[in-house]
């Protein structure tokens, strides 16, 4: 598993104007989210964007779940 979030998603002003992309690619993370929202599978996304690895997708989704869980906890404590 990828241990560092910087190995999953990067933002760099020189790459798509700082849009968060999968590390080592020019594929925006929001493209994955749009595919999933449209009902596509992870396999379909990976077929469409072969420069992104399954490990990156799974780690990105795990990171998102952790962030939401952390934000959810913060929201309940106020």
pTM of the model as a whole = 0.78
| Residue at 78 is within a domain | no
CB 29 within 8 A of CB 60: yes
DSSP assignment, residue 35?
A: H
Number of structural domains found in the chain? 1
Summarised one tens digit per residue, pLDDT across range 12-56 is: 999 999 999 999 999 999 999 999 999 999 999 999 999 999 999
| Residue at 44 is within a domain | yes
For residue 49, how many other CB atoms are within 10 A of its CB?
18
Domain that holds residue 22: 5-73
71 burial type by CB count under 10 A (0-12 exposed, 13-18 middle, 19+ buried): exposed
pLDDT above 50 (res 60): yes
Residue with tokens 């989210």: 33
CATH number at residue 57: 1.10.10.10
- The four Cα atoms 43, 46, 50, 52 give a dihedral, to 10 degrees, of -130
């Amino acid at each position: 598993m990828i241990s560092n979030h910087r190995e999953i998603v990067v933002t760099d002003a020189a790459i798509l104007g700082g849009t968060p992309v999968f590390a080592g690619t020019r594929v925006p993370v929001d493209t994955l989210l749009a595919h999933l929202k449209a009902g596509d599978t992870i396999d379909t996304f990976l077929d469409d964007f072969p420069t992104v690895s399954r490990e990156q997708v799974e780690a990105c989704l795990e990171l998102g779940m952790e962030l939401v869980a952390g934000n959810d906890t913060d929201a309940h404590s106020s």
